[in-house]
Amino acid sequence: MLVCIPDVLTPDEVAYCRKVLDGAGWVDGKVTAGEQSAKAKYNLQVPEHSDESKELGQIVLKALGRNPTFTSAALPLRVYPPLFNRYDKGMNFHAHVDNAIRALPGTGFRIRTDVSSTLFLSDPEDYDGGELVIQDTYGTQTVKLPAGHMVVYPSTSLHSVNPVTRGSRWASFFWSQSLVKDDSKRALLYNFDLSIIETRKALPDDHPAVLGLTATYHNLVRQWAEI
Ligand code: NI
């Protein structure tokens, strides 16, 4: 399941992130790539232990915490500290699958990557190319969103970034370990949650249908969640 979430960051937060990233020390993106993907990856990243990554990562994590759509779609148990990358003219990332397990060097932090997220920090008119291409269960999806918007997709997907032919594409990306590792179960819960939201608009909160659906949602999460 692929979900696009608008306005994860405010325009002010995007502008601040871009200002800090402008002064950051960018390095070759191969530093966080696995063996196969290192051969496929041509981009720049901000080092994950840098002050810039840490500060901006906190802004992104805070934004995720206030976003009910991210919570409902990803059902996050743990989120890897957000990373920041950029594709200048001529850069791209060929098709690959991200590593299943991600460990933060020098810490005991380790997650299984269930859900991948890309939070766009450049507006589409600032660059040509640079689309994120995701091979989803329902076919190939091409994603290019306004700055501050984010796409969430299963980490099991083969994905690539098309070559940038003009300008520069900046983004934050990160992985989440989900309470529910199976994407099809997560998709059911997400659609269930959306239906409950619609039902609550039409019926009072103490209506038996609202109570029953809400109870069933939570009991399904209880059945499927792994903590
Ligand atoms: Ni990737």
Binding-site residue ranges: 96, 98, 159, 169
Q: How many CB atoms lie within 10 A of CB 44?
A: 18
173 and 196, same domain (yes or no): no
pLDDT digit string (tens) for 77-96? Answer: 999 999 999 999 999 999 99
**Mean pLDDT, the chain, integer:** 95
Distance in angstroms (rounded) separating the CA atoms of residues 26 and 159 = 23
Distance in angstroms (rounded) separating the CA atoms of residues 102 and 45 = 17
Distance in angstroms (rounded) separating the CA atoms of residues 174 and 60 = 10
Find the 186 Cα to ligand 1 centroid distance in Å: 20
Instruction: Kindly list the averaged pLDDT for each block of 10 residues, start to end, along the chain of length 227.
Output: 97 98 91 76 92 97 98 97 96 94 89 98 98 91 98 96 98 98 97 97 95 97 97
Find the 208 Cα to ligand 1 centroid distance in Å: 44
Find the 61 Cα to ligand 1 centroid distance in Å: 19
3-class secondary-structure state, position 196: helix
At 107 the pLDDT is: 87
Residue span of the structural domain in which 149 resides: 3-178
At 149 the pLDDT is: 98
At 136 the pLDDT is: 82
29 and 140, same domain (yes or no): yes
Find the 41 Cα to ligand 1 centroid distance in Å: 9
99 and 123, same domain (yes or no): yes
25 and 41, same domain (yes or no): yes
pLDDT digit string (tens) for 177-194? Answer: 999 999 999 999 999 999
Find the 69 Cα to ligand 1 centroid distance in Å: 22
Q: Tokens 């802004």 belong to which residue?
A: 59
At 138 the pLDDT is: 80
Find the 166 Cα to ligand 1 centroid distance in Å: 22
pTM: 0.95
198 and 144, same domain (yes or no): no
Binding-site residue ranges for 2-oxoglutarate: 169
Instruction: Domain count for the chain, please give it.
Output: 2
